[in-house]
């Protein structure tokens, strides 16, 4: 089939098959621009780590002013596009306000991502330096971007928060919804296949391994059979919990108590109390209190403990 015939067939498809066309609608955020923003924001959070040429202390002020000016302009433009898409009555003014508020939060985000790096260093005996963690550990990229995306999510910006977290997801295999609330000292070891849902909450000093899912049991639907949005669907993980590889924890009322350990491949649909351990013995799920000796072997954060 010649190119002109293919083009005509596609035009007919556009006219006939709606739903995946966005023609004559508001300008949507650019994936390329969002990717560039994500990279620039990582430079700001971790100055000197990702530059092609070493960054000297005396060069930081002009460098920072330049990159922040670039970020502010492009971020404001993309937020305005998203607000226009969402039907905002004054997208330009609100985009400027949200952009300023988001960039102001970078100071607090830097404080908390430093705790994430510390958690990775103390939680992984293979880690040799902070430099190795920041440059090579996938959790640093994906969790840092999720923390920025969460600020945009809290401001009600459509589209853009998910685009930021997807930038991290496609590079790491770690999928964290921007709505998830994550405390300090959060470490995802290895990481591939981790999924954390929109309404999950994660406390401080939590460590999870590859393949862990914090998901929903099922979707409540309305009278038309459509999923009901905005309800609590994902579990709560309290402080100092360790979740080993490929564990699945589901449900909006499911809570994992503080200082608990969830063994590998465990499937949980119900809450467990603080200081518990859940694991399989043959094919039976065992949930029992952790003994004092086990807790002492685990250390304060429940790390590096063999079930």
Look at residue 194 and tell me if it is in a domain: yes
Q: Give this prediction's pTM.
A: 0.92
Look at residue 19 and tell me if it is in a domain: no
31 and 163 Cβ atoms separated by less than 8 Å: yes
User: Which residue segment(s) compose the domain that 244 sits in?
Assistant: 180-307
Q: Say how many domains are in the chain.
A: 2
In a shared domain, residues 133 and 186: no
Number of other residues whose CB lies within 10 A of the CB of residue 130: 16
In a shared domain, residues 31 and 103: yes
In a shared domain, residues 139 and 192: no
Q: Give the CATH number, domain containing residue 189.
A: 2.160.10.10
- Residue 180: name the closest of 158, 168, 165, 192 by CA: 165
In a shared domain, residues 199 and 242: yes
Instruction: Dihedral sign for Cα 83, 87, 88, 89, please.
Output: positive
In a shared domain, residues 149 and 198: no
Look at residue 7 and tell me if it is in a domain: no
The torsion angles phi and psi of 300, rounded to 5 degrees, stand at -60, -30
Look at residue 253 and tell me if it is in a domain: yes
pLDDT attached to residue 294: 62
User: Which pLDDT tens digits describe the chain residue by residue (307 residues)?
Assistant: 899 999 999 999 999 987 889 988 899 999 999 999 999 999 999 999 999 999 999 999 999 999 999 999 999 999 999 999 999 999 999 999 999 999 999 999 999 999 999 999 999 999 999 999 999 999 999 999 999 999 999 999 999 999 999 999 999 999 999 999 999 999 999 999 999 999 999 999 999 999 999 999 977 777 777 788 889 999 999 999 999 999 999 999 999 999 999 999 999 999 999 999 999 999 999 999 998 666 655 554 444 444 4
pLDDT attached to residue 230: 80
Look at residue 119 and tell me if it is in a domain: yes
pLDDT attached to residue 296: 59
């Amino acid at each position: 089939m010649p190119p002109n015939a293919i083009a005509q067939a596609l035009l007919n498809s556009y006219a006939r098959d709606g739903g995946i066309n966005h023609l004559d609608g508001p300008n949507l955020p650019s994936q390329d621009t969002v990717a560039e923003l994500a990279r620039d924001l990582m430079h700001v959070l971790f100055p000197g780590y990702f530059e092609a040429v070493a960054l000297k202390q005396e060069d930081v002020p002009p460098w920072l002013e330049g990159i922040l000016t670039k970020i502010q302009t492009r971020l404001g433009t993309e937020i305005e596009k998203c607000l226009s898409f969402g039907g905002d009555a004054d997208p330009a003014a609100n985009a400027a306000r949200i952009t300023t508020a988001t960039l102001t939060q970078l100071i607090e985000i830097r404080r908390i991502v430093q705790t994430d790096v510390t958690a990775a260093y103390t939680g992984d005996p293979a880690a040799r330096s902070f430099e190795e963690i920041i440059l090579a550990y996938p959790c640093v990229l994906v969790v840092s971007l999720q923390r920025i995306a969460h600020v945009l999510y809290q401001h009600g910006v459509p589209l853009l928060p998910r685009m930021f977290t997807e930038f991290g997801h496609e590079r790491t295999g770690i999928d964290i919804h921007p709505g998830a609330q994550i405390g300090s000292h959060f470490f995802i070891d290895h990481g591939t296949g981790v999924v954390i849902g929109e309404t999950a909450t994660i406390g401080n000093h939590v460590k999870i391994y590859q393949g862990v899912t914090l998901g929903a049991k099922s979707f409540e639907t309305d009278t038309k059979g459509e999923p009901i949005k905005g309800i609590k669907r994902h579990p709560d993980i309290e402080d100092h919990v360790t979740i080993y590889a490929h564990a699945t924890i589901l449900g909006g009322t499911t809570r994992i108590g503080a200082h608990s350990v969830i063994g590998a491949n465990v499937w949980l649909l119900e809450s467990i109390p603080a200081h518990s351990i859940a694991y399989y013995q043959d094919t039976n799920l065992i949930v029992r209190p952790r003994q004092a000796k086990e807790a002492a072997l685990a250390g304060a954060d429940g790390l590096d403990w063999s079930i």
